[in-house]
Structures are given as C-alpha cells and as structure tokens.
C-alpha cells in the first residue's frame, strides 16, 4: 500500500517485572480501513491498546499518529483519536443529545451541526432527545460511537465494542462503523473475541500471540487454490486423486485438493473414468476461525455462531 499510514506502531514492547508482555510489535493502520486485532486470551491485546492510547508507558518503542508521538506529543496526538471500550459510560439522567453536547465541550470546534451529523450517521435522530436511561444497550453503543466521532478523529480504536449486544444490535453497530470508515476515512482498530464478527466487519486482521505479531491477513483478498469435491465412493476418489499427484485433505463426505482452477476439469475426468460419482465441486474458502487456529496452534478464543 503506497498511502502513508495514519497510525504507525513501531517496535512496541512492554516488560512487567521479568516478563516481557509485548515483544517488538510493528503495525501500520490506514485511512478508511478496518483492522481486527485478534489473539488468544492473555496474548497482550489489552496491554497493546493501553499503550496505543497513552494509558500505559511502553518499555521500548512508540506509537505515531500522523507522525506525532503518543509518548512525546501526547495531547496533540490523542486529539486525533476516538475510543470505545466495551460499554460506553453515559449520563443516564440526561438525553442523548445533552450527553453529546456535554462531550462536545471537551474538544475545540465541535459545532451543533457536527452533533447533528454524527446523530444521523449512527441512526439516532428519532430518539436523540430521550433520556439515555430509556435506551437499549444497542442504542447506548451507537451513542458511544457518536460521541467518539464528534471531534472527527482520524483514528478510532475499539476494545470489545459489541459485548452484550444481540445479533441485530451487532449488525447495526457493524453497519454504522463501516459507514464511518468509508465516508469519513477513519482508520479503525477493533479488538474482539468474536471471530465471526471480525470476518464480517474488517478488511484485514492482525493476530498476536505471546506478545508477538504472528501475521496480518486480508479477510477478502485471498487467492483461492483449494477445492472441495463431494464424491462416492470416497475410497476410490482418494486413490485416484492421490495417484494423480494431487495433495489431498480428507473430509467426512468428500475431500479437499490443493490445486489451481485449471486442473479441476482433469481431476473430475479422472474420477468419472474410475466410476466415481461427483455430487459437488466448489472452491473451498477457509474461515477466519480456520486461519486463526492454524496461526496460533489452537489458541483459545471465544466463539459465537455465524449470523
């Protein structure tokens, strides 16, 4: 990517006592792109986020936001950041609008027009003048997103933002967050335990394990070179494909072969000639869960059913 990153994490490290929690983390975040941050429990996600927003001082390294150091220029750099940590705290005895008006005074140049814009962005225009105590959890999450976007941040960081939301609430929040990234060009960084949600929300994901960055992978741009074939009898299909030199992974009711698309007709021709019945052939897309487990060796992370 030729575009200059909005956020640059450079050799970020943290040692507590004798234990090195974060080990030389390097990562770039770009305008309009949503990056998921995944890792097994205890991998160092929360520690990394705390250092990124200046709540914890790194032992080594730095975080640059549009070239400004969080360590050396904290007030200037953090002005460009919006943060949502789990369930945002709001004044429940006040209306949603009065909450936003209150938070707007903490930043220079936030007009009433801007408040109107973020209310429209998160779809709260019909309920914004009601007290927050009457809001559902999903509405409070949307109000938290509006508050985080008030000052037009260039970088939005979210730590488990959909905790406690039902599937409809998660879907709504995902839609508003993607709109913020696409329309306002915000770089978004989301730490989450919900692999199925990250797969739907993010453009790419970064995996951390034992304090080290394992890999950065695009969610939607993988080159497809694996195909699933459902066939009977399976034993004959295995023998034919293996004998022809295809790398095979056994499945319960079929097999996966690692090959390019142009080789599939030849494989099918061999199977038909051997009397094998073909019931289905299609590209096999590894899920985010499959990739995560492969990268971490089975590291534990919470799961929810796909919506």
Regarding whether 133 and 106 lie in a shared domain, the answer is: yes
| Predicted pLDDT of residue 12 | 94
| CA distances in angstroms from 207 to 35, 50, 93, 130, 222, listed in the order given | 10, 17, 40, 40, 16
73 and 1 in a common domain: yes
d(CA 158, CA 170): 14
Rg (Cα) of the chain, in Å, rounded? 24
144 and 267 fall within a common domain: no
CB atoms within 10 A of CB 76: 13
Nearest to 240 by CA among 271, 268, 269: 271
Q: How many domains does the chain have?
A: 3
For position 245, which CATH number holds? 3.30.70
Token pair 């939005």 is at which residue? Answer: 156
Domain membership flag for residue 103: yes
pLDDT value of residue 296: 56
Q: Are residues 61 and 196 in the same domain?
A: yes
Residues 122 and 265 placed together within one structural domain of the fold: no
CATH of the domain at 159: 3.40.50.300
DSSP string spanning 99-152?
Answer: HHHHHHTTSTT--HHHHHHHHHHTT-TTTTTSBGGG--HHHHHHHHHHHHHTT-
| 136 plus 275 within the same structural domain | no
In a domain, 244, yes or no: yes
307 within some domain: no
Distance in angstroms (rounded) separating the CA atoms of residues 196 and 185: 24
Per-residue confidence (pLDDT) for residue 301, from 0 to 100: 45
Q: Is 266 part of any domain?
A: yes
| Pair (258, 122) in one structural domain | no
Asked if 186 and 253 sit in the same domain, the reply is: no
Cis peptide before 278 (omega within 30 of 0): no
What angle, rounded to 10 degrees, do the helices at 264-273 and 234-243 form? 130
Structure tokens at 282: 């299609």
pLDDT 10s per residue in the chain (307 long)?
558 899 999 999 999 988 899 999 999 999 999 999 988 777 888 899 989 988 889 999 999 999 999 999 988 888 889 888 766 778 899 999 999 999 888 888 888 999 998 898 888 889 999 999 999 888 888 898 888 888 888 999 988 877 777 788 788 888 888 888 888 888 999 987 777 777 788 888 888 888 888 888 776 555 457 788 888 888 898 888 888 888 887 777 788 888 888 888 998 899 999 999 998 888 876 665 566 555 555 554 444 333 3
Q: Which domain covers residue 112, as residue numbers?
A: 91-152
User: Do residues 161 and 198 share a domain?
Assistant: yes
Q: Does residue 187 share a domain with residue 147?
A: no
**Does a structural domain hold residue 71?**
yes
Do 10 and 57 fall within a single domain? Answer: yes
- Evaluate whether residue 173 is within a structural domain: no
Q: Is residue 41 part of a domain?
A: yes
Say whether both 29 and 66 belong to one domain. yes
Is 8 part of any domain? yes
How far is C-alpha 193 from the geometric centre of its chain's CA atoms? 10
């Amino acid at each position: 990517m030729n575009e200059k990153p909005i956020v640059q994490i450079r050799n970020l490290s943290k040692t507590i006592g004798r234990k090195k929690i974060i080990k030389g983390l390097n990562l770039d975040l770009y305008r309009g792109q949503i990056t998921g941050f995944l890792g097994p429990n205890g991998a160092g996600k929360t520690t990394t986020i705390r250092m990124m927003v200046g709540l914890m001082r790194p032992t080594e390294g730095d975080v640059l936001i549009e070239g400004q150091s969080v360590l050396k220029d904290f007030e200037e750099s953090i002005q460009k950041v919006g943060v949502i940590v789990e369930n945002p705290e709001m004044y429940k005895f006040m209306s949603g609008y009065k909450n936003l008006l209150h938070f707007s005074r903490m930043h220079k140049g936030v007009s009433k027009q801007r408040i109107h814009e973020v209310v429209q962005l998160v779809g709260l225009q019909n309920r914004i003048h009601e007290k927050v105590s009457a809001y559902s959890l999903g509405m409070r999450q949307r109000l938290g997103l509006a508050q985080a976007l008030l000052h037009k941040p260039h970088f939005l960081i979210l730590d488990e933002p959909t905790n406690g939301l039902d599937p409809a609430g998660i879907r709504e929040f995902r839609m508003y967050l993607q709109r913020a990234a696409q329309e306002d060009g915000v770089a978004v960084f989301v730490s989450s335990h919900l692999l199925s949600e990250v797969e739907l929300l993010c453009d790419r994901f970064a995996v951390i394990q034992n304090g080290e960055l394992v890999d950065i992978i695009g969610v939607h741009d993988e080159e497809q070179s694996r195909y699933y074939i459902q066939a009977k009898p399976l034993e004959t299909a295995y023998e034919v494909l293996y004998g022809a030199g295809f790398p095979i992974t056994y499945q319960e009711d079929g097999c996966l072969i690692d090959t390019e698309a142009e080789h599939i007709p030849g494989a099918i021709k061999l199977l038909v000639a051997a009397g094998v019945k073909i019931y289905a052939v299609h590209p096999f897309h590894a899920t985010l869960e499959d990739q995560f487990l492969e990268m971490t060796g089975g590291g534990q992370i919470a799961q929810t059913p796909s919506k």
